Amino acid sequence: MQKLDLTSTLIHLKTKLWGTPKDRGPVFKAIIYTLLISIGFVYLYPILDMFITSFMTLPDLLDASVKWIPRQLTLDNYKEAFEVMKVKETLWSTIEGALLPSLAQTLVCALTGYGLARYEFPFKKLIMALILLTFVVPPYVLMVPNYVMFSDYKLIGTLKTLIYPALLGQGTKSAIFILIFMQFFKQTPLALDEAARVDGASDAGIFLKIAVPLAIPAFILCFVFSFVWYWNDTYFTALYLNGANIADTSKISTMLLELQNFDAMYKAHIQNSAGWGASVMGESVANEAIRMASTVLTILPLLIMYFALQKYFVEGIDRAGITGE
């Protein structure tokens, strides 16, 4: 009898502390909140540190006692970064180099995913295997033959090296986007297509008037991912736009390429006009606050785009079942 009372007491205590699937207890909630706060801290710490450092004055940077709360905020770092990064010249080329391939890739992947989801045709499985193969093979393996091909067609140094592959379904990680669209279009009831055909709609009309409106979250999801990947790419962008010398930004430059060569650009800038950090830090050492300000300027368009499309972005991830990337 005592054993039964002890067992029931332990079960009651466990239920009270751990809770049930419908009503979680304080111990379970404490563990979950601790994990969420820890993971959030890991992601937010470098971002907060970057933002705070970008507003620091040089004396605060040199003072080890100043870490999170600057004694004085300044926008001079952003003015310097704006000039060093050549934002006026590079911002549009950066947007153009990410926007045009992303739009082309999203459209082509949508058409490809719709065809694979809605139609049966010979060698369909083989085509899907080849699409997956393009994702499995590392892009660096194809770097040399792609460069030779672009060079033979005299495309090196132009945005066509980014746009043409996207139009042919060979953009950055196009296989993922094709699978996402295929998953979305498979969720669309076939009865809608059949009803539209009874009303005399063509295949193109069904795609434009039924499939596309229902797959808006997928379009936004794929466009955002594609835009971010093209925006953040530096190696292939520099290789195809500037030739074999990837450090040469004299042809077409982007904000990421300028950030990659920040030390050299900053040194050249302070040699032309002595910046406020040059006399203290020396010409060969870049001011860390200006470097952080340059990084903020580089990621700011992506943050604005994400917050503007956050609702559709989250919905797209939820419906596509993406767990990675």
DSSP per-residue string spanning 71-83: SSB-SHHHHHHHH
Question: Do 114 and 228 share a structural domain?
Answer: yes
Q: In CATH, what number is assigned to the domain containing residue 102?
A: 1.10.3720.10
Residues 301 and 169 in one domain: yes
What's the confidence (pLDDT) of residue 66? 76
| pLDDT of 271 | 63
59 is a domain residue: no
Pair (147, 249) in one structural domain: yes
Question: Do 179 and 278 fall into the same domain?
Answer: yes
Domain contains 63: no
Q: Which domain holds residue 20?
A: 2-54
User: 48 and 88, same structural domain?
Assistant: no
pLDDT of 8 above 80: no
Q: Mark whether 24 and 86 lie in a shared domain.
A: no
Report the distance separating Cα 289 and Cα 307, nearest Å.
25
Res. 275 pLDDT band, cuts 50 70 90: very low
In this structure, is residue 325 part of a structural domain? no
Task: Report the distance separating Cα 292 and Cα 289, nearest Å.
Answer: 5
Asked if residue 23 and residue 93 are part of one domain, the reply reads: no
258 belongs to a structural domain: yes
Give the per-residue pLDDT at 3.
52
Tell whether 197 and 255 lie within a shared domain.
yes
Answer yes or no: is pLDDT of 4 > 70. Answer: no
Would you state the pLDDT for residue 107? 94
CA gap 169, 111 in Å, rounded: 10
Residues 6+ apart with CB under 8 A from 225: 173, 176, 177, 325
User: Tens of pLDDT along 96-134?
Assistant: 889 999 999 999 999 999 999 888 888 888 988 888 888
Nearest partner of 61 among 47, 46, 49, judged by Cα: 49
For the cut 80, the answer to whether the pLDDT of residue 162 exceeds it is yes
More confident residue, 145 or 69: 145
pLDDT score of 277 more than 70: no
27 within some domain = yes
pLDDT over 70, % of the chain: 80
Number of domains in the chain: 2
Q: Are residues 36 and 122 in the same domain?
A: no
- 6-10, 50-54, 115-119, 203-207: least confidently modelled range: 6-10
Q: What is the pLDDT of residue 109?
A: 93
**pLDDT for position 111:** 92
- Residue 323 scores a pLDDT above 50: no
Helix H, strand E, coil C: the string for 107-133 is: HHHHHHHHHHHHCCCCCHHHHHHHHHH
Q: What pLDDT does 213 receive?
A: 86
The number of C-alpha atoms within 13 Å of 66 and in the hemisphere containing its C-beta is 16
Of the candidates 118, 139, 80, 91, the one whose C-alpha atom is nearest the C-alpha of residue 274 is 80
pLDDT, residue 65, reads 78
Residues 220 and 305 in one domain: yes
Read off the pLDDT of each residue in 291-315 and give the average, rounded to a whole number.
82
> What pLDDT does residue 202 have?
85
Query: Do 165 and 248 belong to one domain?
Result: yes
60 assigned to some structural domain: no
What long-range pairs does 33-42 form, CB within 8 A, spacing at least 24? none
User: Treating both helix axes as pointing N-terminal to C-terminal, what angle do 174-187 and 124-136 enclose, rounded to 10 degrees?
Assistant: 140
205 and 137 in a common domain: yes
Residue 314 lies in a domain: yes
Whether residue 68 is contained in a domain is answered as no
